[in-house]
Amino acid sequence: LAQIKEEEDECCISLEKEQLELKQEFDIIIVSPIDEEGENREPDVSLLSPEPNWDQDTVQISSDQERSHHEESGSSRAREEELKQKKWFIRQKKAHLNNNLCSCKVCGKLFTRSNLTKHVRTHTGEKPFSCVTCGKKFGQRYHLTVHMRTHTGERPFSCLTCGKSFTMRIALTRHVRTHTGEKPFSCVTCGKSFGQRTHLTVHMRTHTGERPFSCLTCGKSFTLYLSEHMRIHTGEKLFLCTVCGKSFRQQNHLTVHMRTHTGEKPFPCVICGKSFTLQMVLTKHIRTHTGEKPFSCLTCGKSFRHSGTLSQHTRIHTGEKPFPCSTCGKRFSDKRNLSRHIRTHTDERPFSCPTCGKNFRQGGHLTVHMRTHAVKKLYLCEICGACFTQSVDLTDHMKTHKGKKV
């Protein structure tokens, strides 16, 4: 719906542009009347037809010139008539637009009469158009048309560059900018540019601190996508994978998931050539080449490549442990540590040894176990030559040479 709302705004802008273009075209015709010097002026007969000589040889020439004059004169009259009709048409269209623009009594925006009726429904909540497949209702027929494509699979708007198809024209317009690199929307505060107007709107809130969308259930506020957050409370998962049947709360999560079936990795690293399924993962990967660490701890100054790593680090200073175990109540500062802990209750062992089939709760435990199958021992005592598969075992062994108890 956010895409459709933006398309409505752009339609409103295009209406204003059409009025401006009509005014400019109308002004051009007024400034360039048909009787001025130039191609629109009817040709002067005295210039086209010289004084005739009434002998036998010149009569024929004079007749030819007369016919030529009539032809050019007729062509000029046709152009004159065409310009008059165009001038009348533009005047009528301009008057029609001005007479039919009405303002919304709620918000004051200007619309044509037909579009005003559609717009008012955004205030009243009226949704007269229903989907015959799932029963979902919409305030505009166009929104229903776009929605129906989620059932039919129709994607009528195709990219001429890569062939990818879309259900909405505005989605295609945005996609084309990924090929052209065009970013027409700029932040007036920091100068950063964006390919989509909604991205600029959300970005501006980082400067203003505005979070206009509040969850009535938990009170948390958001700059965007409250509807997606609400699905955490309702458990609703609208987006279904047609291959494996898995459901997702967000469309983009389904899009990323589908790449696990197709093997598509559309984001390649220009440095090493490695490809990724997500732009965000590629951005993080590039920092391994550049060494960039843009996220700094305000307490100790330590820098990190990823914002998530900084968030985990910050909890060392605050002591915050936001992830509780639902079984025993123990709390953790990191979600991954909670996941490992839960396996102690469920006895889940998702990591299997491909050699002997033994299962482990943690990937690190499997890595250590795999060394027992290796031909060469990894940790060698330089004093007695004893070999060990784990560094901790070698450390304990070295204490025996120093006379310390193991």
pTM score above 0.75: no
Same domain, yes or no: 216 and 257? yes
Number of compact structural domains in the chain:
2
Contact predicate 140/121, CB 8 Å: yes
Domain span holding position 106: 98-138
Same domain, yes or no: 261 and 127? no
Q: In the predicted model, what is the mean pLDDT of the chain?
A: 77
For residue range 255-294, list pLDDT tens digits in order.
889 998 998 888 899 999 899 988 888 888 998 899 898 8
Residue 288 lies in a domain: yes
Residue 39 lies in a domain: no
Question: Which amino acid is present at 354?
Answer: P
> Which pLDDT belongs to residue 106?
87
* Mean pLDDT, range 361-372, rounded to an integer: 83
- Local structure of residue 267 (DSSP, 8 states): E
The CATH number linked to 287 is 3.30.160.60
Same domain, yes or no: 131 and 149? no
> Which pLDDT belongs to residue 117?
84
H-helix or E-strand containing 79?
helix 56-100
Same domain, yes or no: 287 and 149? yes
- Local structure of residue 51 (DSSP, 8 states): P
Residue 237 lies in a domain: yes
> Which pLDDT belongs to residue 37?
35
* Mean pLDDT, range 364-374, rounded to an integer: 81
Residue 382 lies in a domain: no
Same domain, yes or no: 208 and 158? yes
Residue 117 lies in a domain: yes
Same domain, yes or no: 148 and 290? yes
Task: For residue 116, name the pLDDT band (cuts at 50, 70, 90).
Answer: confident
Same domain, yes or no: 113 and 229? no
Task: For residue 300, name the pLDDT band (cuts at 50, 70, 90).
Answer: very high
Question: In sequence order, what are the residues at sequence separation of 6 or more whose Cβ sits closer than 8 angstroms to the Cβ of residue 7?
Answer: 168, 169, 170
Helix axes of 141-152 and 2-31: crossing angle, nearest 10 degrees? 130
350-387 burial, b at 16+ Cβ within 10 Å, e below that, comes to ebeeeeeeeebbeeeebeebeeeeeeeeebeeeeeeee
Same domain, yes or no: 128 and 228? no
Same domain, yes or no: 209 and 234? yes
Same domain, yes or no: 147 and 234? yes
> Which pLDDT belongs to residue 289?
92
Looking at per-residue confidence, does 53 or 329 come out higher?
329
- pLDDT at residue 59 tops 90: no
Residue 211 lies in a domain: yes
- pLDDT at residue 33 tops 50: no
Residue 389 lies in a domain: no
Residue 185 lies in a domain: yes
Question: In sequence order, what are the residues at sequence separation of 6 or more whose Cβ sits closer than 8 angstroms to the Cβ of residue 130?
Answer: 136, 137, 138, 144
Same domain, yes or no: 182 and 227? yes
Residue at which a domain ends, from 277, 296, 315: 296
Number of continuous H segments (helices) and E segments (strands) in the chain: 14, 22
The region that residue 235 occupies, defined by phi over 0 for left and psi between -120 and 50 for alpha, beta otherwise, is left
Interatomic CA distance for residues 201 and 99, integer angstroms: 33
Same domain, yes or no: 180 and 291? yes
Contact predicate 283/289, CB 8 Å: no
- pLDDT at residue 379 tops 60: yes
* Mean pLDDT, range 165-187, rounded to an integer: 89
Residue at which a domain ends, from 272, 296, 320: 296
